[in-house]
Amino acid sequence: MPTLVQAVVRPEKVYEVMKALLEAGFPAVTKMDVFGRGKQRGLKVGEITYDELPKEMLLVVVPDADKDLVIETVIKTARTGAKGTFGDGKIFVSKVEESYTVSSGAKDA
């Protein structure tokens, strides 16, 4: 059964992550501009609080056997600094029950 890896990353890291995925053998990626906040509840600068921060969401569907490599690739390239920092992102993993090719209408194997 295929696996969907959804990675929310910093905008300044998205092209580095996409390049690393391509080099690791995963060229098919859907990218979306998204906004949100995590555990840090946004960002406060002086008196102003920004509670919807810009992020990028990458969607990658891979065979289950490749899931760990995709996750490791995203973590390695999306993390800031050696230990990472708040706001580096989040990865969600779920099973894909069915998929279809729009042009042919065929159900994917």
**CATH label of the domain that carries residue 78:** 3.30.70.120
Domain extent, residue 35, equals 2-95
60 occurs within a structural domain: yes
- Phi, psi for 18 (deg, rounded to 5): -65, -40
Q: Is 12 helix (H, G, I), strand (E, B) or coil?
A: helix
52 occurs within a structural domain: yes
The verdict on pTM exceeding 0.95 is no
| pLDDT tens digits, 15-74 | 999 999 999 999 999 999 999 887 777 667 778 777 788 999 999 999 999 999 999 999
103 occurs within a structural domain: no
Of 49, 51, 52, 68, which Cα lies nearest the Cα of 60? 68
Burial class for 29, CB neighbours closer than 10 Å (0-12, 13-18, 19+): middle
| Beta strand pairing call for 89-95 and 2-9 | antiparallel
